[in-house]
């Protein structure tokens, strides 16, 4: 059997597995925090506060948009199985049409755009948190905002170079990679968010630790402690995911380069309620 076919089929399967695992984590988190959402978020719908609407967009747009990906992955699984059977039984290659290439190009752009929207909305919510903690120190807030704009601009540029991975003729799959050849530039889609999260965590620690240490028993201490706890939990998880993604974009095979980009998006959205609180 063709080793390239086996390798490509394995990469497609692993990509699908990661997608379903990440989506399961996100849905579980949504169900687990639904009562908290009803208590804290829903009563504030109608208020002129951007964070409410940023929260709701990511909370519901990303899961609904990702369902499109899951349907596509299920179809890919079926067609890939057929392609492998044909390859083994008759040494037959599935024909690739121009319409398939166009649809695949559109799909990978859609997939990448949804990832960019989800991660950058959370980035905006983190910026709002930094503004709340450092509203009297405008240079700090401005610096964080500039870093977020650099992250957004870099990802938008990389998205403009996005293209489907070239698979074995009998593998029907639309997996996105960036067209830019420089591994440092392409991996910036992962390490720039990681840098942004690190800066936000450092600033959050700087603002919350003194308050938690110096005061006792007040509402302010409770809020600061929650900010500290949520920030550490989120950072630990997303640091691991983004670190793996950075390394894979730089050194992994084409079909696996962006495999944890899905996990990055879904884990980020799963921790969304902590940013709102």
Tell me the HSE value of 111 on the side-chain side, using a 13 A CA sphere: 29
pTM of the model: 0.79
Task: Evaluate if residue 22 carries a pLDDT over 70.
Answer: yes
Task: Evaluate if residue 78 carries a pLDDT over 60.
Answer: no
Percent of the chain clearing pLDDT 90 (strictly above): 9
pLDDT tier at 82 (50, 70, 90 boundaries)? very low
Is residue 174 within 8 A of residue 9, CB to CB? The reply is no
Name the DSSP letter for residue 135. T
* 213 compared with 6, residue with greater pLDDT: 6
CA-based torsion, 108, 112, 118, 121: positive or negative = negative
Please report the pLDDT score of residue 199 as a whole number: 92
Task: Evaluate if residue 227 carries a pLDDT over 80.
Answer: no
Tens of pLDDT, residues 94-126: 455 555 566 777 788 888 888 888 888 888 988
What one-character-per-residue DSSP string does 234-257 give?
Answer: HHHHHHHHHHHHHHHHHHS-GGGT
Q: Give the count of beta carbons closer than 10 Å to the beta carbon of residue 55.
A: 22
Using alpha carbons, select from 129, 83, 258, 268 the residue that is nearest to residue 186.
Answer: 258
- Mean pLDDT computed over every residue of the chain: 78
Domain that holds residue 234: 3-276
Using alpha carbons, select from 50, 206, 95 the residue that is nearest to residue 140.
Answer: 206
CA–CA dist 139, 147 (Å, integer): 12
Please report the pLDDT score of residue 17 as a whole number: 86
Q: What is the CA radius of gyration of the chain?
A: 21
Strand partners, 163: 177
Residue 199, domain CATH: 1.20.1070
Please report the pLDDT score of residue 211 as a whole number: 65
Name the DSSP letter for residue 170. T
* 85 compared with 192, residue with greater pLDDT: 192
Name the domain count of the chain.
1
Q: Where are the beta strands (DSSP E) in the chain?
A: 162-164, 176-178
Give mean pLDDT, residues 145-162.
91
| 168, 172, 173, 179 alpha-carbon torsion, rounded to 10° | 50
pLDDT tier at 92 (50, 70, 90 boundaries)? very low
CA–CA dist 54, 48 (Å, integer): 12
């Amino acid at each position: 059997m063709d080793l390239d076919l086996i390798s490509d089929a394995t990469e497609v399967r692993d990509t699908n597995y990661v997608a379903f695992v990440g989506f399961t984590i996100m849905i579980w988190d949504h169900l687990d925090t639904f009562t908290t959402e009803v208590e804290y978020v829903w009563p504030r719908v109608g208020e002129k506060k951007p964070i409410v609407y940023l929260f709701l967009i990511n909370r519901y747009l990303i899961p609904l948009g990702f369902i499109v990906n899951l349907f596509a992955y299920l179809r890919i699984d079926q067609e890939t199985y057929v392609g492998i059977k044909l390859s083994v039984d008759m040494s037959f290659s599935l024909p690739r049409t121009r319409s398939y290439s166009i649809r695949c190009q559109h799909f990978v752009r859609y997939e990448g755009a949804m990832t960019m929207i989800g991660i950058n909305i959370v980035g905006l919510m983190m910026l709002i948190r930094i503004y709340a903690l450092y509203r009297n120190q405008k240079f700090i807030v401005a610096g964080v905002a500039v870093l977020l704009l650099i992250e957004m601009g870099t990802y938008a540029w990389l998205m403009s170079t996005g293209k489907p991975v070239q698979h074995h003729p009998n593998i029907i799959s639309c997996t996105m990679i960036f067209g830019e050849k420089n591994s440092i530039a392409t991996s910036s889609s992962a390490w720039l968010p990681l840098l942004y999260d690190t800066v936000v965590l450092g600033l959050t620690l700087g603002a919350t630790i003194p308050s938690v240490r110096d005061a006792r028993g007040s509402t302010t201490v409770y809020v600061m402690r929650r900010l500290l706890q949520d920030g550490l939990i989120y950072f630990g998880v997303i640091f691991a995911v983004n670190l793996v993604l950075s390394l894979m974009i730089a050194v992994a095979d084409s079909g696996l380069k962006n495999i944890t980009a899905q996990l990055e998006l879904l884990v980020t959205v799963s921790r969304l309620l902590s940013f709102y609180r």
